[in-house]
């Protein structure tokens, strides 16, 4: 059995890690660290886990943590880059759910996250943890930077088109909606009060100011084989707990049919166990709720020669904890679907 530890285990992503890892066939959860809940049973933070474990949250103990085979870091941005080098030096494999290891270019990290990177040498070695694009690299990795939730939905929606050079990269628009859990468990801003959020939809961080923008651009540029790429990305907060729906638009370089592009996507993702390409409907967030799946649908507008691609994920599973476990499975040479092979809740 693989000994696993989690730092930042009492946040929403940490809670999903606990839920999924406790049923993983090849994992023993060795430790879960939380300053807020130290000394308390996991079930006191997450009642749904009450009958599945007697493990208690602990205060930070680097000695215990370095005895783990794999460590998940689920803290806020700026924490993992200080802890990860110690874990890696001790022989642990590390999967970071924050943004600390998503960028090869540390200047981009500084620009968007407001602090210099503490270990640029490890940042350069880290692998971007989107298995559908970087499976071979993840299998050999010691350190994985888990993608953001919005980038996961947008990149999976657009990658096949850019890889095949079928769209004008400068024309890409991404309009995405997320549930409130995407802000994290400690978010107490006015926008997240029930009376403000309920029966309300609002855009935020518009006009290229959201931190996930450079992440989406960097990966899509890599897929397209371009030195850089610029998109227009607009996120929205909607009154539901979890889920992301990304609607992506791009100008086709030449006329295409919907059927031809559907076949392209099916072929592109034929080895991707968690991507489902619909040919008879469009995705919805309810279809992926609680699962590690990404659902994709598309259509061509013949009048404008544009394609619209819609993707749906659960922001806490495929957009965070589930994808992190998918990466662990690849790094440790387990079945990629181990501990994750269950569909979304419905209704």
User: Which tokens sit at 284?
Assistant: 């919805």
Largest CA distance in the chain: 63
Contact of 184 with 11, CB cutoff 8 Å: yes
From residue 18, how far is each of 14, 30, 271 by CA, in Å?
A: 6, 11, 27
Contact of 83 with 97, CB cutoff 8 Å: no
> Exactly one of 92, 149, 248, 294 is catalytic; which is it?
149
Q: End-to-end alpha-carbon separation of the chain, Å?
A: 35
Q: Which residues on adjacent β-strands are paired with residue 4?
A: 29, 70
d(CA 304, CA 44): 54
User: Which tokens sit at 115?
Assistant: 């602090």
Q: Which of 344, 346, 347 has its CA nearest to residue 288? A: 344
Catalytic-residue membership of 149: yes
d(CA 93, CA 143): 6
Determine the Cα angle at 134 with ends 132 and 140, to 5°.
130
d(CA 323, CA 275): 12
Q: Which residues are catalytic?
A: 149
């Amino acid at each position: 059995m693989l000994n696993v530890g989690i730092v930042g285990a009492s946040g929403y992503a940490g809670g999903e890690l606990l839920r999924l890892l406790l049923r993983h066939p090849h994992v023993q959860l060795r430790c879960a660290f939380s300053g807020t809940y130290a000394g308390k049973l996991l079930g006191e933070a997450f009642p749904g886990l009450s009958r599945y474990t007697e493990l208690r949250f602990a205060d930070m103990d680097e000695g215990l943590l370095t005895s783990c085979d794999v460590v998940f870091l689920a803290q806020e941005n700026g924490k993992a880059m200080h802890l990860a080098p110690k874990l890696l030096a001790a022989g642990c494999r590390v999967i970071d759910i924050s943004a600390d290891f998503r960028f090869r270019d540390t200047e981009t990290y500084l620009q968007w996250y407001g602090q210099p990177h503490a270990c640029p040498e490890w940042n350069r070695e880290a692998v971007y943890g989107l298995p559908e694009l970087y499976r071979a690299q993840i299998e050999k990795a010691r350190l994985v930077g888990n993608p953001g939730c919005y980038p996961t939905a947008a990149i999976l929606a657009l990658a096949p088109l850019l890889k095949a050079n079928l769209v004008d990269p400068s024309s890409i628009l991404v309009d995405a909606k997320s549930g409130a859990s995407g802000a994290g468990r400690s978010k107490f801003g006015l926008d997240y009060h029930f009376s403000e959020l309920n029966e309300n939809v609002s855009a935020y961080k518009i006009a290229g100011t959201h931190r996930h923008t450079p992440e989406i651009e960097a990966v899509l540029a890599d897929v397209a084989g371009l030195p850089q790429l610029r998109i227009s990305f607009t996120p929205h907060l909607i009154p539901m707990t979890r889920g992301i729906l990304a609607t992506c638009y791009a100008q086709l370089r030449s006329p295409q049919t919907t059927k031809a592009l559907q076949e392209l996507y099916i072929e592109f993702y034929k080895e991707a166990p968690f991507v489902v390409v619909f040919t008879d409907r469009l995705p919805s967030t309810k279809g992926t709720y609680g699962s590690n799946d990404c659902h994709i649908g598309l259509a061509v507008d013949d009048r404008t020669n544009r394609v619209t691609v819609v993707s749906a994920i659960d922001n806490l599973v495929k957009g965070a904890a589930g994808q992190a476990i998918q990466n662990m499975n690849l790094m440790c040479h387990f079945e990629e679907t181990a501990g994750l092979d269950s569909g979304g809740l419905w209704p």
